[in-house]
Structures are given as C-alpha cells and as structure tokens.
Chain A
Amino acid sequence: MSIAVGRYTEFILMVITAFATYYYLWQALRGKPQELREMVQITAISDAVDRGVETGRPVYVSPGDMAYLSGMYAPMTIAGMNVIRYTARLAVRKGARIILPVPCNPEAMPLIDGIFREVCVAEGKPEAYKRDDVIYYGVDQSHHSMGLTATIAREGCAAAIFCGATRGGGTNSPAGWAREFGGIVIGGTARYLHQGSWAMLADYPAFMDDTNAMGAVASGDDVVKASLVGGDIVKLVIVAFLFVAIVLAAAGLPVVTPKTGWIFQ
C-alpha cells in the first residue's frame, strides 16, 4: 500500500496543514492562545443587536438558504451556526428579537431551533424562545427569497446577519431589501460567484475564508481561534511555493506541466 499516484501534492499539503493547525491548537490548549486582530464583522454584530433593542425591530440571522449539512456547503453551514449562536446569545441577553430563516432543505432546522432554544435557557430567559420566529419559507430559493423579503417588509429590520451558504436570489436579494428597509447588513459567503453581491450589499462583508474566520471568532473559544493561525501559515507556504514554482518553471523545469508536472504527481 502506498500514497495514491496523483495525490502526493495534496497529501503533503494536508500534512503541512494538519501540523500547523494542531500545533496552534496544542499551544492554545497549553494556555498560549494566539492574538488575533479584531474582526469588524463580529464586533458589528453587537452594534446590530443594540440597534434591534433601540428600534424594536427584529435582527435576522441565517446561515444562508443553501446551508446544508452535507457536501461542499457543510463547512459554510458549520461556520454559520457559530455566528447564529453568537448573535442569538447577544440578542437574548440584550432583549432584541431575532428571526431565524430556515434554509431550503430543512435538515438544519432542528439545529437552528435547538441553538435558539438552548441559548434562551442558558441565558436564563426561556420565555425569549419563540417558535414562530424560526421560519421556513419553502424548498426553492425563489420561495425563500419572496418569503424572507415579505417578512422583512412586514416586520421591519434592524439588521440582517447572513453568514454561510447563500444564493443570489434566496439570501442575497433579501439582504439588499434588508438594507433598503434600514437594516445593518453583515455577512458573506464562500461561494465565489457571490463575492460581488456581498461587496455591494453588506455594510460589513465577509469574503470567502472570512466566513470561516467569522465562525471561529464567534465561537469565542481560544483553541478554535488559534487554529486560524495555522491556516494562515499554510497560505503563506503556498504563496512561497508559488514563487518558487514560477522561477523553476521559468527555468524550464516541469513543475506545472499539465498532467506530468511535479505538482500533479
């Protein structure tokens, strides 16, 4: 048994990532957390909740209408759940109403509902839990879009915090309407095609890997946050590798030759 042909580069990358991640996890577990810069997207959530308290309008928080628990959107969903928990804690503690739109596949609904319910109990305000504020709009992004926009129009909007797997119609379009109705918009997605939408629609946008960082920082756990540093080290290693690869390729070595290049081994 050996390493599969064509997967050496991936394997090396995974080993480096694992080493870097677990090193910083271990450091944090030993009581040496990493200092991270403040994420404005996270600090703005507190302002958004305060706005909800002041205006009496609800704060919308969602992991996106495509937040599924399997496949490529699962990491975005997991990051979004941390943001939901963080926002719900602040909202329940401060007395703001939150509305939780449920993704089109309702598999995440028990999870979202459970987070809301448990946060209310943990904050000592079980009466803050309202089942009617966990809203399912339908199986398709068009229904989610229209339903969420209608709720925003009907109930008003202090803020919309949408971090996770969002779609152009299902979540991004209602985010635009949330802004139109005077809400602070915080959020983003790791879906590349929608980066422009969030740059345009959000007061505090999160681009690509920012969504993972938001989830980790929102968790408030030093061990989780420390692992982000490991990821950044790997990104720097990749950038350095790219420079080396460009130089070697320019020198005529088969570094990036399609199919037969070194990195494809």
Chain B
Amino acid sequence: MNRQHSNEDQREISHPEQYVFTPPIDIYETDEGLVLYADLPGVSVGSLELQVQDNKLTLLGKVEPQIPEGAHPLHTEYEVGNFLRSFILSGEIVHSEIEAKLANGVLRIFLPKAPKAEPRRIQVNTG
C-alpha cells in the first residue's frame, strides 16, 4: 500500500515531549449532507472532544500513552500524540443535528444540510 499521506509531514511539536498531529480526513457530500471521516488511532470515545462554536467545528482526540511504564524503546518509527483539527461549516449545516461515531480509531461525522425549501409556483393571473 502506497501511503501517500504521511502524518509526519504535518506533525508539529507543541511541547517538548508532546506532539499534536493533524489527522488525515476524507469529506464527501451526499444529498442529505456532508460526511467527514478522520483517522484517529488510539482515541477512545471518552478522550474525544467535539465542539461546534459559531460555525467552527473542532475535534480534539487525546491519546493516552499506549505503552506500559518501564518499556524500553528499541526502535521507533512513529510518535504518539494528540490529534487536533478544525473546520469551518457552511451556513446550510444544521448544527443541532450533527452526529458522530467512533470505531476502530476512525471518527465519522455526519453534517446534515438544512432541507431546501420546495420551489413554490406562483400563479400569474391575467389582469
């Protein structure tokens, strides 16, 4: 599998020993709304914070240390840290009906669009 997207590229150090990563996402649009997927390995339901403020959706996934204490690292290819990313929502998203689900380290957020008003035919009468 060719992993074109490397988390490393976006990793930035916010604290000497604490990494904050930008998780890779997919967004696709359906007739009903937008579906957003984010890869958040190591994040559990209890350690995930989702917040909508004004029109900004912020996700913060906290990752607990995965390794028992006293483990001696022999070989390190990836770093562990928290995930943070925010999105600007368009005006048609119904904030109160946003749904989120977390499974196997992947977050799925459904952002429903407000149903468009049905076009109304205006009767034109002849004078």
A binds B: no
